[in-house]
Amino acid sequence: MKKTVVLYPGLAVSHFVPMVQVADVLLEEGYDVVVAFIDPTLKGDIALAAVIDSVAASKPSVVFHKLPRVEDAPTFVHDSKFVVRYLEFVGRYCQHFHDFLFSMPPGSVHAVLVDVMSTEVLGVTSKLGIPAYAFFPSNASALAVFVQASSVRSEGQPSFRELGDAPLNFHGVPTMPASHLTAEMLEGPGSETFKTTMNMKSRIQKANGILVNTSASIEPRAVSALGDPRRLPKMPPVYCVGPLVAGNGGQATDKHECLAWLDEQPEQSVVFLCFGSTGASNHSEQQLKEIANGLERAGHRFLWVVRAPPHDDPEKPFDPRADPDLDALLPAGFLERTGGRGRVVKLWAPQVDVLHHAATGAFVTHCGWNSVLEGIVAGVPMLCWPLYAEQKMNKVFMVEEYGVAVEMVGWQQGLVKAEEVEAKVRLVMESEEGKLLRAQVSEHKEGAAMAWKDGGSSRAAFAQFLSHAGSVSGRA
């Protein structure tokens, strides 16, 4: 009987897309693949729903199974309790997920791969005797911080937020300010959000193993720390199976007009600016003007993805996908003055294609891990502008550990000035330091490419995961 691996991805594009890339490898290895998922429209995520439809259409050999709806699902608000509400929402689907797995032929499921924020279903898989592995869509360094967070701060000590910029030391990663931890970890230790986050960490460590979207060549120190039982005795096996990079995140693949413009530009001459796809990545009108002035003064070619700024009107719902009025948002005459060497694109550009284009010479990014991997795989040096989630930590890793980026430091004051935009663009595009960054990211590009070739570290780790699942299943 042919074995099946069930994927249970999270309700975010940044979680869904890399996990589903695993399906291609599983099919190559002779497994059937089923993606069980919750209807993202219940969370109000129309963009993810479109991505799921697109990905499903591109993978006809994979079965996509939408779980039945639950009644009275909690609503989502992006506030300090978002994680609590998210986990409550996903937890409501445990019974449906149980029923789905139970309906499959006995012994047919080789393993279940569960998103890091859906690990409450590990109780379901344990009850059914099915090996279950957590999927961590970010990097090994962030995972190392996450699993050590509770041990670094002891009972009665100041909270991470109270520590401010005081340096924290974690095994396997550079020293970082406490303020760079995720918002959930910066909540008070008695808060529901903090407790929920720490409980999620405990559940992850109860999985049969953890698959991480990275390669050993990018993060050797963090990978070594995660595999050291003297440092982290409660860790299950960690399998580095990245980089799992999709072509433009399931978006349309027709040639975008910006690619035709890039075709006309000299090699490595264009600075690409793109800050993710959620409302949290929309810059203020003042910040947009500072970026524009900095780009104009720097004098280099640029391709800039602009989205409408957020507003403060509580009576008017904010739509992060609203069409931006460029003439109103950017400095007067900016588009005309820079039209010969720059392009401003509204809302979205095919990021993977842009990064792989020969004309692209630098990438200004919000440091989301998928974007970081895409930059590394394309061999493009980066300028870090973290905004939310684990991006502040990623900035530290990119600058101090991987050596592939420089930091736009103004983000820490809430505004990156035009002078810094100009200076940092010139640094990466013109200076000896910029050449060193390019050489370093090229080395990581080669290492990442080798990881999935025969004998590569990620392919070997994936084979170990499948073998381990088979041995666990045999004992169930």
Tokens representing residue 307 in the block: 């989205």
Look up the pTM and report it: 0.95
Tell me, what's the pLDDT at 316?
64
Tell me, what's the pLDDT at 353?
97
Tell me, what's the pLDDT at 150?
84
Please choose, from the candidates 235, 307, 245, the residue with its C-alpha nearest in 3D space to the C-alpha of residue 278: 307
CATH topology (fold) of 4-242+452-474: Rossmann fold (3.40.50)
pLDDT means per 10 residues, the chain with 476 residues, are: 94 95 96 97 86 95 96 74 91 96 96 96 96 98 94 79 94 96 93 93 95 97 96 94 78 79 98 85 93 98 94 64 90 96 96 97 97 98 96 98 97 97 98 98 97 95 97 66
- Helix 192-204 vs helix 140-152: angle between axes, to the nearest 10 degrees? 120
Please choose, from the candidates 84, 67, 66, 85, the residue with its C-alpha nearest in 3D space to the C-alpha of residue 76: 85
Tell me, what's the pLDDT at 170?
95
Are the C-beta atoms of 372 and 391 separated by less than 8 Å?
no
Question: Is there a common fold for 4-242+452-474 and 257-449?
Answer: yes
The DSSP bridge partners found for residue 344 are 304
What ranges do the domains of the chain cover? 4-242+452-474, 257-449
Are the C-beta atoms of 418 and 402 separated by less than 8 Å?
no
Are the C-beta atoms of 303 and 343 separated by less than 8 Å?
yes
- DSSP conformational letter for 282: P
Are the C-beta atoms of 384 and 410 separated by less than 8 Å?
no
Please choose, from the candidates 453, 434, 431, the residue with its C-alpha nearest in 3D space to the C-alpha of residue 442: 434
Tell me, what's the pLDDT at 451?
97
Tell me, what's the pLDDT at 45?
83
Domain 257-449 has CATH 3.40.50.2000: yes
Tell me, what's the pLDDT at 393?
98
The DSSP bridge partners found for residue 301 are 270
| Phi-psi domain of 299 (left: phi exceeds 0; alpha: psi -120 through 50; beta: other) | left
